């Protein structure tokens, strides 16, 4: 069993083989008096590797002059998100970022990657995945009760959050759309096609939305991660395969990972902006933004990335979307004073560094307003791989775990999460990537029940209706006598489970 390369499953190693950000309102023009004057060289070098950048404006009033400065500095504008003052640029000028940071009206500017834009050989896509065997499928279908889809008996995660009981009341509203910002969604899958929202789907890999027919799908050989996530959220209750947490809502695919599996800032910004402008009610984000696992705000490049994504997520929320994200799979306390990052930058040469996550956040999951989700296993305990942190994790949901640690009750056979894969199939995966879509599904049910509720109200209901979960006994998940993680906080909010396990039944009861 391998691990997912550049998103929320990437750091998963299952033993079975297995701040300093500006508000959305830009600084007024008067603030420019304290800014450096525009000083772009008459001639610039253009012999460096072509990189992608984000340029964040102090105010939209500076848009025209900054674009002139971008051109003069050897940059080409790919897309300009004027409503949040973020410009996506390509440049071969090795000094482009430094040059733009000295331009009047520029708040911050930084390279979104350390590897050049030029295509590189596609690396092997690694994912935590186990196939669904024909025997499992036949046995599950034989045990399915009236009203259940054939593979639903294997989905232990649905009763874990009372989604099966919620479905007796409602499947959710077709007027609600959840955007899967991910590796793409195979909308031809028979469990996804009935609920797919094409108008809210796009390919954002370049930083500019592409709505060519099927552009939102993973290409042959690319990851099925987004397709799996989409099934957990909204696989139709149609007598076929599995059932989603909210099988009556719509799901869209916004592809933001390139063929090598990297989720770069310009693509993710595009994803949030596309969702915001196309009526999306919920976004699911089961990845972290490459190439930095943690983005330090005091670094001029990384700080610009944090700022650009903060603006994009806040804009999406202002437009009505609740943003849900996976906490990550590194077994890390995100509230710790220091953690070691040995994986960044992951698109070139990595080096060890010590960071404080609250000052160097994992984005988008640690951005303001984003619902951060930890993962639990079939026994309801924090999954062995799941990140955690008091004041960081908002809620918990099933993400699967090694059956050796947390085995499900029969008729389920695997401790992982069963959902849709490409080409009409089904498989198992585990990770906080799988926990986040359970929460996105519950949020969609709340939005279905309360269509006029603001994102803030929806999040308040999500937290209030979660089942408070205490830390419990000292956490020794593998039973070797050593404490594997420390849970801080009380029953009503702690570092492992936040406000508790999400509750789909309570989401539709009131």
The answer on pLDDT for 6 being more than 50 is no
Average pLDDT over residues 70-80: 98
Q: What is the pLDDT of residue 187?
A: 98
Task: Write down all domains in the chain, each with its CATH number in brackets.
Answer: 29-111 (3.30.70.80), 130-509 (3.40.50.200)
Q: What is the pLDDT of residue 44?
A: 78
Mean pLDDT of the chain: 91
| Torsion region of 270: left, alpha or beta (phi above 0 gives left; psi -120 to 50 gives alpha) | alpha
Residues 93-126: b if buried by 16+ CB within 10 A, e if exposed:
bbebbebbbbbbbbbbbbbbbbbebeeeeeeebb
* pLDDT one-digit tens code per residue, 439-493: 999 999 999 999 999 999 999 999 999 999 999 999 999 999 999 999 999 999 9
**Distance of CA 124 to CAs 181, 221, 223, 264, 426, Å?**
21, 9, 10, 18, 21
> For residue 445, which phi and psi values (nearest 5 degrees)?
-65, -40
The answer on pLDDT for 266 being more than 60 is yes
Q: How far apart are CA 386 and CA 393, in angstroms?
A: 11
The answer on pLDDT for 312 being more than 90 is yes
Q: How far apart are CA 318 and CA 255, in angstroms?
A: 22
Q: How far apart are CA 124 and CA 122, in angstroms?
A: 7
Beta-bridge partners for 86: 56, 81
Average pLDDT over residues 315-338: 98
* pLDDT one-digit tens code per residue, 93-150: 999 999 999 999 999 999 999 999 975 444 334 456 899 999 999 999 999 999 999 9
Beta-bridge partners for 489: 494
Q: What is the pLDDT of residue 35?
A: 38
Average pLDDT over residues 404-415: 96
Whether residue 254 contacts residue 269, with contact meaning beta carbons closer than 8 Å, is answered with no
Tell me which of 110-119, 319-328, 362-371 is least confident: 110-119
Please enumerate in sequence order all residues whose Cβ is within 8 A of that of 72, keeping only pairs 6 or more positions apart, or say none: 40, 44
Q: What is the pLDDT of residue 47?
A: 80
Average pLDDT over residues 65-92: 98
SS3 content of the chain, % helix, strand, coil (to 5): 25, 20, 55
In the structure encoding, which two tokens stand for residue 113, read together?
């990657």
* pLDDT one-digit tens code per residue, 381-404: 999 999 999 999 999 999 999 999
Average pLDDT over residues 198-213: 98
Q: How far apart are CA 24 and CA 27, in angstroms?
A: 9
SS3 269: helix
Percent share of the chain, pLDDT over 70: 89
Q: How far apart are CA 89 and CA 70, in angstroms?
A: 8
Burial class (CB in 10 A: 0-12, 13-18, 19+), 303: buried
* pLDDT one-digit tens code per residue, 21-46: 233 344 433 333 333 444 555 567 78
The answer on pLDDT for 221 being more than 50 is yes
Average pLDDT over residues 54-79: 97
Whether residue 399 contacts residue 383, with contact meaning beta carbons closer than 8 Å, is answered with yes
Q: How far apart are CA 298 and CA 474, in angstroms?
A: 36
Average pLDDT over residues 11-25: 33
Of the chain, the end-to-end C-alpha distance in Å amounts to 42
Q: Which strands form 130-131's sheet, in the order they lie side by side?
A: 130-131, 426-429, 417-420
Q: What value does the CA radius of gyration of the chain take, rounded to a whole number of Å?
A: 22
The answer on pLDDT for 500 being more than 60 is yes
The answer on pLDDT for 507 being more than 50 is yes
Placement of tokens 């590189």 in the chain: 120
The answer on pLDDT for 375 being more than 50 is yes
Whether residue 23 contacts residue 31, with contact meaning beta carbons closer than 8 Å, is answered with no
Q: What is the pLDDT of residue 122?
A: 41
Q: What is the pLDDT of residue 124?
A: 38
Average pLDDT over residues 150-175: 98
Q: How far apart are CA 263 and CA 154, in angstroms?
A: 31
Query: How many other C-beta atoms can be found within 10 angstroms of the C-beta atom of residue 484?
Result: 14
SS3 425: coil
């Amino acid at each position: 069993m391998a691990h997912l390369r550049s998103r929320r499953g990437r750091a998963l190693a299952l033993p079975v083989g297995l701040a300093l950000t500006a508000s959305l309102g830009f600084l007024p023009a008067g603030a420019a008096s304290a800014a450096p004057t525009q000083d772009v060289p008459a001639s610039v070098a253009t012999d460096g590797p072509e990189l992608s950048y984000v340029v964040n404006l102090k105010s939209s009033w500076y848009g025209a002059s900054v674009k002139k400065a971008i051109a003069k500095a050897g940059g080409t504008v790919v897309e300009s998100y004027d409503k949040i003052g973020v410009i996506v640029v390509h440049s071969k000028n090795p000094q482009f970022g430094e040059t733009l940071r000295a331009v009047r009206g520029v708040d911050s500017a930084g390279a979104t990657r350390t590897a050049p834009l030029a295509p590189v050989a596609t690396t092997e896509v690694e994912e935590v995945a186990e196939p669904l065997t024909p025997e499992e499928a036949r046995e599950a279908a034989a045990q399915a009760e009236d009203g259940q889809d054939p593979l639903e008996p294997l989905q232990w995660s649905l009763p874990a959050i009372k989604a099966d009981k919620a479905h007796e009341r409602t499947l959710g509203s077709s007027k609600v759309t959840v955007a899967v910002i991910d590796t793409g969604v195979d909308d031809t899958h028979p469990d996804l096609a009935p609920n797919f929202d094409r108008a809210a789907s796009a390919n954002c890999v370049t930083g500019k939305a592409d709505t060519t027919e099927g552009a939102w799908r993973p290409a042959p050989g690319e990851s099925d991660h987004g397709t799996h996530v989409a099934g957990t959220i909204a696989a139709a209750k149609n007598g076929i395969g599995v059932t989603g947490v909210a099988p009556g809502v719509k799901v869209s695919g916004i592809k933001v990972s390139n063929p090598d599996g990297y989720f770069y800032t310009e693509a993710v910004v595009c994803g949030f902006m596309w969702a915001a402008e196309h009526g999306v009610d919920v976004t699911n984000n089961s990845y972290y933004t490459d190439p930095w696992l943690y983005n330090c705000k005091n670094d001029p490049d990384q700080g610009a990335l944090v700022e650009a994504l903060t603006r994009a997520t806040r804009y999406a929320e202002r437009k009505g979307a609740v943003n849900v994200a996976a906490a990550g799979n590194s077994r890390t306390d995100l509230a710790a004073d220091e953690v070691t990052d040995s994986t960044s930058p992951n698109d070139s040469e990595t080096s060890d560094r010590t960071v404080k996550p609250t000052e160097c956040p994992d984005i988008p999951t640690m951005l303001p307003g984003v619902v951060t989700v930890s993962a639990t296993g079939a026994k309801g305990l924090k999954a062995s791989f799941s990140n955690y942190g008091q004041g960081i994790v908002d809620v918990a949901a099933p993400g699967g775990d090694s059956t050796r640690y947390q085995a499900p009750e029969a008729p389920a056979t695997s401790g992982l999460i069963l959902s849709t894969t490409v080409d009409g199939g089904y498989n198992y995966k585990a990770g906080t990537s799988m926990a986040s879509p359970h929460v996105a599904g519950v949020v969609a049910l709340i939005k279905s029940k309360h269509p006029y509720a603001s994102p803030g109200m929806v999040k308040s209901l999500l937290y209030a209706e979660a089942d408070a979960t205490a830390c419990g006994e000292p956490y020794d998940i593998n039973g070797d006598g050593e404490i594997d993680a420390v849970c801080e906080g009380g029953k009503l909010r702690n570092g492992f489970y936040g406000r508790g396990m999400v509750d789909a039944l309570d989401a539709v009861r009131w």
